[in-house]
Amino acid sequence: MEMVKRPLPAGFQKVSGDDNTEEYFINMGPQHPATHGVLRLVLRLDGETVRECVPHLGYIHRGIEKQAESETYLQYVHLTDRMDYLTSHMNNHSVCMAIEKAVGIGVPDRAEYIRVMVLELNRISSHLMMFGCFGGDLGAQTALLYGFKEREVITDIFDELCGARLTMNYFRPGGVANDIPDTFIARVKKVIVDVERTLEEFDRLITGNVIIQERSRGIGILTREDAIAYGCTGCVLRASGVPYDLRKDDPYSIYDRLDFDVPTKQNGDSFDRYVIHIDEIRQSIRILQQCIEQIPEGPYRSKEKPSYRLPAGSYYAATETAKGIFGTYVVAEKGDKPWRIHSRSPNFANLSPIGKMVKGHMIADVVTVITTLDILIPDIDR
C-alpha cells in the first residue's frame, strides 16, 4: 500500500528515519482527562515512547488583558480571579500591590496579617488540589477525593469570608474587603489540625507508595540550568535546586516578619516536584500559626475609594503564588482605566520546558509531568 505523505503538524522537525518502525502523531487534548483543562499536546510517538512533544495553547483564551483596558482598576482585580482560579487571592494581591505602589496607599497591619493568612490558606488549598490531581492522574482515584476533602474545609472558610468558593475576591487596594468574621481564627486553627493529620495520611497513602515512587522518580527531569533558562518559578524551580522564593528573596507584605523555610530539592524529577508541594504545606501551616498569635486589632482597610486614579507611569508588582511568580505590569495614563496591563503568569513559563522534559519517556510519563508541573490552562491563555 502506498504511504500517504502528509505535512508535519506545526512546530515539528522532519521525522528522522528508523525504517523498521513508523512514528506517528497523537493529539493529547484539547479534550483529554489528564491535561488539566484544554491543553493540547501534539506527541510524536514511537510505539509508546515520546520522541517529541509540542504544546499548543489558546483554547481558553478570553482576552482578559484586553478587557482590562476598558475596566477600572478596581474592576480588574475581579478579572484576575479567572486566571488561575486556584490561587485567586494571590492574583488579586498582585494587582492590589501594583495599585498601592502607584497611588501610595499603605496597608494597615491587621489587613496585612489577614492577607497573609488568606494567602497561605489559598496556597494550602492549591497544593492539596495538586496532591489530589497527582494521585488521580497516576491512577489512584482515591487520592483525588482525599485531596478535595481537605480542600473543602478551606473553601468553606473562604465562602464565609467573601461569599465565593471558587473565583474568590477579597483583596482590595489598601486592605481587604471586610474584616474577618469571629469564627475565622477558630476555623483556621481547626484547618491546621486537620491538614497536619491529613499530611501524615498522604505520606502513607501516596508518598511512600512503591508504585508512585517507581512512576515519578527520574521522570521528567528539569535541570537547574533549564529551569532558570525557561523562567520557571515556584515549586518547579525549587525542585530543581534553586531556592528562590519571592517571599524570602524579595519580601512583600509582612513575610519578612515571619519565620519559615523554603523547601528545596535537588533532583528536579517529578517526585521531587511533588514532595516540594507537601513540604510547602507544612511551611504554610507554620506561617498560619505565627499569624494567629501575632494578629493585631485595628482597621482592615485604608483609603477606601470607589475608584482609583493612577498617576501616569508603569508599575510592577509580583507575588509568589502557589504556582510561582505572578506579576502584574500596569502602564497607566491619566484616568481610572489602565492603558495596558500585562500579567506574568507562572504557569506559562512552567509549561514551556515540557517538550524537553518528556522526550524519551512514555505516554504515561507525560501525564506525570503535566500533573507535577501543576499547570492550569486558564492562567496560561488568559
Partner 1 sequence: MDLSTTNFIGDLVREYSPYSWVASIVNGVIAIVAIMAVGVGPSPMLIWWERKVAAFTQARLGPMRVGPWGLLQTVCDVIKLLFKELITPHGADKLLFFLAPALPLTGSFLVLAVIPWDHNLQVANPGMGVPFIIAVSSLGILGTLLAGWSSNNKFSLLGALRCGAQMISYEVSLSLIMLFVVLMSGSADVREIVLSQQGNVTDWWIIKAPFLGIAAFVMYMISATAELNRGPFDMSEAEQELTAGFHTEYSSTAFAMFFLAEYINMVATSALASVFFLGGFLPFAFPDFGFAPIVGVVASINGALAILPGFFWMAGKILFLITLFMFFRWTYPRPRVDQLMSLEWKFLLPANLILLGLGAVFIAFGLILP
Q: Which residues here bind partner 1, judged by CB under 8 A?
A: 24, 26, 32-34, 48, 135-143, 145-146, 149, 206, 209, 211-212, 214-215, 362-367
Cross-strand partners of 226: none
Q: Would you say 8 or 312 has its CB closer to partner 1?
A: 8
Q: Would you say 17 or 33 has its CB closer to partner 1?
A: 33
DSSP label at residue 109: H
Q: How far is the CB of 251 from partner 1 (least distance, A)?
A: 38
The secondary structure of 229-286, three-state, reads HCCCCCHHHHHCCCCCCHHHHCCCCCHHHCCCCCCCCCCCCHHHHHHHHHHHHHHHHH
Q: Would you say 170 or 202 has its CB closer to partner 1?
A: 202
Q: Would you say 216 or 284 has its CB closer to partner 1?
A: 216
Q: How far is the CB of 365 from partner 1 (least distance, A)?
A: 7
Which among 380, 378, 354, 356 has a CA at the least distance from the CA of 368? 354
Q: How far is the CB of 122 from partner 1 (least distance, A)?
A: 24
| Phi, psi angles (nearest 5°) of residue 195 | -65, -40
Q: How far is the CB of 142 from partner 1 (least distance, A)?
A: 5
Q: How far is the CB of 126 from partner 1 (least distance, A)?
A: 20
Return contacts of 331-334, CB within 8 angstroms, 24+ apart.
Answer: 332/102, 334/309
In the block, residue with C-alpha cell 494567629: 292
- How far is CA 109 from each of CA 98, 165, 198, 298, rounded to the nearest angstrom? 18, 26, 32, 8
**What cell numbers appear for 69 in the block?**
483596558
Q: How far is the CB of 44 from partner 1 (least distance, A)?
A: 12
Is the bond preceding 30 in cis, omega lying within 30 degrees of 0?
A: yes
Q: Would you say 55 or 135 has its CB closer to partner 1?
A: 135
Q: Would you say 141 or 183 has its CB closer to partner 1?
A: 141
Q: Are strands 313-320 and 49-56 parallel, antiparallel or unpaired?
A: unpaired
Q: How far is the CB of 278 from partner 1 (least distance, A)?
A: 16
Q: Would you say 82 or 361 has its CB closer to partner 1?
A: 361
Q: Report how far residue 258's alpha carbon sits from residue 324's, in angstroms, rounded to the nearest whole number.
A: 20
**What cell numbers appear for 38 in the block?**
484544554
**What cell numbers appear for 216 in the block?**
515519578
If one counts every other C-beta atom within 10 angstroms of the C-beta of residue 108, the result is 17
Q: Would you say 274 or 326 has its CB closer to partner 1?
A: 274
Q: How far is the CB of 196 from partner 1 (least distance, A)?
A: 18
